[in-house]
Structure 1
């Protein structure tokens, strides 16, 4: 187990890389014995620095939900990161790439909670009862790790490669649609880019949220009413540059539109 001094040093390094829009060498290259548990402690330090600077934790995100990504990272369960108030964007304002380093977008389903959800023991039915509504959304992931050369320890430490997120205005209660079977269409600059389905995310986005509620509940971290939970990507990662527009449409729910402007660091 890493000592507290080392944990804080890496957490501070990642936070400072975020502010300076620069990359750092993969942690696993420098600390071959780093464990996932150590990486989550580094993540907590990085997020604590954001909170100390005036941001609030407003939700969670689930990552590494697809089998190809799990195979690539050598891990066979999802990971999670924390969403802060400084990450939220709106359809009206779009996404300023000038605040990011090496961004890629992915389309998914966001759950907004109307009541607390405290694991372990949370079921899919509990998730549905606790949800105020679901909306299509984009997460723009961004890595502080050089060349996206990440393994699970690197991305976990780097707050699950969180960048910013944008939730569409379309809303529905999860009882109103089958989130596992609802199809998703992703368009880039007016052309079809990819299609997906909720079942690609742990069998259902609801199951992914239940998994995370139970995982965090065992660590003493409940979901709170009002929090946003990003349930995991239903699309391939999409590189984005100045002037791009992405539109995600989820059947029976509606669309989310993301316009990008500015220039990322890399």
Structure 2
């Protein structure tokens, strides 16, 4: 796609962020759009945020589990950026009105203690780079109307990022088996979903390796102190004002997100 077309697509998503008016699927407007085009649109949007004062504080891997791929009709993972403005404290009210079509999903967050630069990153490299892990809830959101997303739509829309809630119980990587760590997601006190770490590309650490090796050729490295969300352990569920969602992950503890009213 030509630069002017990429800019027009990025501007369409930026308007949705600013006004709350949902966009039509990009795949409908630009039927020849490629994965590379979609990532270039994402980079333009994120660059605009940074120019206006936000800061990149990590990355996320999206659509890493079979459950999520089936839910949204895609067949591969993607990645997006996490910025400082996306992080919320657990147990503190999160204004639901800040989002357009929010859903939530449980994850095991990696906090890096060393740089990871691909290509060529192995599981051993990734394990050495992790300082600790935390239970996390990711708020996913879409600027595309009715979540009618193709893989290029979600990539261009920063992998449908919305927000992040981190738990407060850090655990060393060697103290938990990420593959076998079971998860129960409660909403309003009732069990909404169950899953395990093995649902995320066989193990969440594999998603970290995939991310480092995918962004490395683009000149991007994963930095110390950054948070990496490897992908959801279950299907995502919708949330709205008044909801309380708790993810309990074996060996890691729990994390709670509380949604309040409020407007954009």
Could you tell which deviates more after superposition, 35-44 or 123-132?
123-132
What are the superposed Cα offsets for residues 79-130 of structure 1, whole Å, 9 maximum, x if unpaired? Answer: 0000111111111423211111110011111101011011111111211111
In structure 1, C-alpha distance between the alignment counterparts of 2:66 and 2:167, rounded to whole Å: 27
Q: Which residue of 2 aligns with 1:243?
A: 242
In structure 2, C-alpha distance between the alignment counterparts of 1:93 and 1:250, rounded to whole Å: 20
Contact map agreement 2:103 2:236 (CA 8 A) in 1 = yes
SS in 1 for 2:185: strand
Q: 1:252 to 1:72 in 2, by over 3 A?
A: closer
Q: Which residue of 2 aligns with 1:131?
A: 130
SS in 2 for 1:82: strand
Q: Which residue of 1 aligns with 2:40?
A: 41
Contact map agreement 1:241 1:263 (CA 8 A) in 2 = no
SS in 1 for 2:231: strand
1:70 Cα deviation from its structure 2 partner: 3.1
Alpha-carbon RMSD across the aligned residues, in angstroms, is: 1.4
Q: Which residue of 1 aligns with 2:59?
A: 60
Q: List aligned pairs for 1:1-266, cutoff 5 A.
A: 2-71=1-70, 75-262=74-261
Q: 1:264 to 1:201 in 2, by over 3 A?
A: farther
TM-score, normalization: structure 2? 0.96
Could you tell which deviates more after superposition, 253-262 or 5-14?
5-14
1:77 Cα deviation from its structure 2 partner: 2.5
In structure 1, C-alpha distance between the alignment counterparts of 2:49 and 2:92, rounded to whole Å: 22
Q: 1:124 to 1:40 in 2, by over 3 A?
A: same
In structure 2, C-alpha distance between the alignment counterparts of 1:71 and 1:240, rounded to whole Å: 20
In structure 2, C-alpha distance between the alignment counterparts of 1:211 and 1:94, rounded to whole Å: 34
Could you tell which deviates more after superposition, 11-20 or 203-212?
11-20
1:74 Cα deviation from its structure 2 partner: 5.7
1:263 Cα deviation from its structure 2 partner: 5.5
What are the superposed Cα offsets for residues 168-204 of structure 1, whole Å, 9 maximum, x if unpaired? Answer: 1111011110011111111111121221100000000
TM-score, normalization: structure 1? 0.95
Q: Which runs of 5+ in 1 are unaligned?
A: none
Number of aligned residue pairs: give it. 264
What are the superposed Cα offsets for residues 9-62 of structure 1, whole Å, 9 maximum, x if unpaired? Answer: 111221221121220111001111100100000000111111111100110000
Q: 1:28 to 1:264 in 2, by over 3 A?
A: farther
What are the superposed Cα offsets for residues 204-231 of structure 1, whole Å, 9 maximum, x if unpaired? Answer: 0001111111111122111011111001
1:75 Cα deviation from its structure 2 partner: 4.5
Q: Which runs of 5+ in 2 are unaligned?
A: none
